[in-house]
């Protein structure tokens, strides 16, 4: 009895459909196609997407996780639209031509929107990941994601209008003129914006770096690089806000590049009667002792001394060269080293000479001017 019943089912169903009004038949067919399309989307989500999730978890990179997370909602909806379109094509005889044509236009618009959503989610995810890995890029990443959304959705809107037979050339022309007018009105703001993008995409001038602006009498730590201004915290704990365009136009010294460690040069002068090698040994010894006790003064690279500039007007001039952890550590290091060197020189009998200049008077050839023997005169005015 099962085989005849199964054989008779299509006949019964056909006779039942023939007895119904055409509009009700079309509605039932549409509901059936929609149910199949939704079921296909659910199966795609449960099987294909779930399998893809298990596979990407086994990989070492996290880029595939990012891409899957960004695209899977749009792809699932796209599967629903495609299956629904195929169902309409297969059941076209049972549906009015107006319904099929209207859905074709609607499906085209939905497909364009889904592709736009997929593109914006993918670009937004990539930009957010870049901002997570590079703290200085977070503001640029957020702004870039917003701009990409505006551009992609605007292009999708124009494509949809063009596919519906609406002329978009006048609209594009109007948008171009409006964009030019806005660019001219916001010239300073845009220059600061693009300068901020240039600063944030480079390796220099990152938050936490100590910088000095030539010609601006400004130096300090960079607190934040925004899309319009850069905030610099000076050593006096004051915040100075500098437009990004000014930052891009001036000469900036970044004391954290290539590394925060920097060399410290301390000039020292001693009397001509001192033994240069003994002076060098004393300076290096004091610097090595201080390296383990003074905060920020490094023992590696080891400190050393050079007989430079050399022979001065009244002293032998040396340069003690050592390294500090970063720029601001030089102040305490210089203070401690000079105090220790002065104490050690006094113990060792090494004299630090006073600046002395000897001048000589030349006998005058004028008869009305008295002449005398030439005597040296020191800088303190005492004739010797």
Cis omega (within 30 of 0) on the bond before 323?
A: no
Nearest-CA neighbor of 319 among 251, 263, 272? 263
Rounded to whole angstroms, how far apart are CA atoms 317 and 296?
26
The DSSP-derived string for 178-197 is HHHHHHHHTHHHHHHHHHHH
What's the pLDDT at 7? 47
What's the pLDDT at 336? 93
Of 152, 184, 216, at which residue does a domain stop? 184
Residues 218 and 121 in one domain: no
Dihedrals phi, psi of 139, to nearest 5 degrees:
-65, -40
Place of tokens 């899957």: 68
- E-state strands within the chain: 210-213, 218-225, 229-233, 239-243, 252-254, 262-270, 297-298, 304-311, 316-324, 359-360, 376-377
Of 153, 184, 215, at which residue does a domain stop? 184
- Number of domain units in the chain: 3
Give the number of residues written for the chain.
384
N-terminal to C-terminal alpha carbon distance within the chain:
142
Residues 175 and 309 in one domain: no
Residue 272: inside a domain, yes or no? yes
What's the pLDDT at 207? 82
What's the pLDDT at 320? 94
Token output for 230:
């850069």
Q: How far, in whole angstroms, is CA 357 from its chain's centroid? A: 56
Residue 220: inside a domain, yes or no? yes
Residue 4: inside a domain, yes or no? no
Token output for 353:
């000479």
Residue 313: which CATH number? 3.30.70.100
Residues 101 and 227 in one domain: no
Each residue's pLDDT expressed in tens, for the chain with a length of 384 residues: 334 444 444 555 455 555 556 656 666 777 777 788 788 878 877 787 778 777 777 777 767 677 777 777 777 777 787 777 777 767 655 566 666 666 667 777 777 888 888 888 887 777 777 766 666 666 667 777 777 888 888 888 888 787 777 777 777 777 778 777 776 766 666 676 667 777 766 667 888 889 998 877 888 998 888 777 888 999 888 998 888 888 878 888 888 888 889 999 999 999 999 999 999 999 999 999 998 789 989 988 999 999 999 898 889 999 999 999 998 899 999 999 999 999 999 999 999 888 876 677 777 666 655 555 545 545 444 444
Q: Which domain holds residue 279?
A: 262-348
Q: How far, in whole angstroms, is CA 371 from its chain's centroid? A: 76
Dihedrals phi, psi of 60, to nearest 5 degrees:
-80, -30
Residues 35 and 134 in one domain: yes
Residue 375: inside a domain, yes or no? no
Residue 171: inside a domain, yes or no? yes
Residues 55 and 163 in one domain: yes
Total Cβ atoms within 10 A of residue 270: 22
Contact (CB, 8 A) for 166 and 106 = no
What's the pLDDT at 368? 58
Q: How far, in whole angstroms, is CA 381 from its chain's centroid? A: 62
Residue 337: inside a domain, yes or no? yes
What's the pLDDT at 337? 93
3-state DSSP call for residue 251? coil
Residues 39 and 178 in one domain: yes
Residues 64 and 213 in one domain: no
Contact (CB, 8 A) for 320 and 268 = yes
Of 184, 206, 232, at which residue does a domain stop? 184
Contact (CB, 8 A) for 323 and 288 = no
Place of tokens 């023997």: 373
What's the pLDDT at 2? 38
Token output for 113:
């929107």
Nearest-CA neighbor of 270 among 318, 320, 336, 337? 318
Residues 216 and 74 in one domain: no
Dihedrals phi, psi of 100, to nearest 5 degrees:
-65, -45
Residues 75 and 52 in one domain: yes
Residues 236 and 271 in one domain: no
Residue 1: inside a domain, yes or no? no
Nearest-CA neighbor of 80 among 118, 26, 43, 122? 43
Cis omega (within 30 of 0) on the bond before 301?
A: yes
Residues 26 and 53 in one domain: yes
What's the pLDDT at 318? 94
Residues 40 and 119 in one domain: yes
What's the pLDDT at 324? 93
Residue 364: inside a domain, yes or no? no
* Residues whose CB falls within 8 Å of the CB of residue 153, separated by 6 or more in sequence, listed in order: 116, 120
- E-state strands within 31-118: none
Q: How far, in whole angstroms, is CA 364 from its chain's centroid? A: 73
């Amino acid at each position: 009895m099962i085989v005849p019943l199964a054989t008779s089912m299509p006949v019964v169903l056909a006779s039942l459909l023939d007895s119904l009004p055409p509009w009700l038949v079309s509605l039932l067919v549409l509901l059936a196609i929609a149910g199949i399309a939704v079921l296909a989307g659910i199966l795609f989500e449960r099987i294909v997407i779930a399998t893809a999730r298990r596979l990407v978890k086994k990989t070492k990179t996290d880029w595939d996780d990012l891409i899957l997370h960004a695209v899977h909602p749009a792809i699932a909806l796209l599967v629903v639209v495609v299956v629904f379109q195929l169902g309409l094509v297969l059941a076209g005889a049972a549906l009015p031509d107006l319904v099929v044509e209207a859905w074709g236009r609607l499906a085209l618009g939905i497909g364009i929107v889904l592709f736009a959503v997929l593109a914006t989610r993918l670009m937004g995810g990539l930009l957010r990941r870049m901002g997570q890995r590079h703290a200085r890029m977070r503001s640029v990443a957020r702004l870039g994601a917003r701009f990409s959304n505006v551009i992609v959705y605007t292009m999708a809107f124009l494509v949809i209008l063009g596919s519906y037979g609406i002329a978009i050339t006048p609209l594009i022309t109007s948008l171009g003129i409006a964009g030019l007018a806005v660019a001219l009105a916001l010239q300073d703001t845009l220059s600061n914006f693009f300068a901020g993008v240039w600063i944030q995409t480079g390796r220099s001038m990152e938050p936490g770096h100590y910088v000095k602006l030539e010609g601006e009498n400004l130096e300090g730590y960079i607190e934040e690089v925004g899309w319009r201004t850069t905030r610099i915290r000076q050593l006096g704990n004051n915040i100075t806000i500098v437009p990004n365009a000014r930052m891009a136009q001036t000469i900036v010294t970044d004391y954290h590049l290539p590394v925060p460690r920097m060399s410290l040069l301390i000039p020292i002068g001693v009397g001509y009667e001192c033994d240069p090698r003994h002076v060098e040994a004393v300076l290096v010894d004091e610097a090595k002792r201080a390296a383990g006790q003074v905060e920020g003064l490094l023992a590696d690279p080891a400190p050393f001394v050079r007989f430079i500039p050399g022979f001065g007007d009244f002293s032998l001039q040396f340069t003690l060269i050592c390294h500090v952890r970063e720029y601001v550590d030089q102040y305490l290091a210089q203070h401690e080293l000079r105090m220790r060197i002065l104490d050690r020189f006094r113990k060792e009998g090494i004299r630090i000479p006073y600046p002395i200049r000897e001048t000589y008077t030349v006998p005058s050839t004028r008869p009305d001017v008295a002449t005398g023997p030439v005597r040296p005169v020191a800088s303190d005015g005492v004739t010797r």
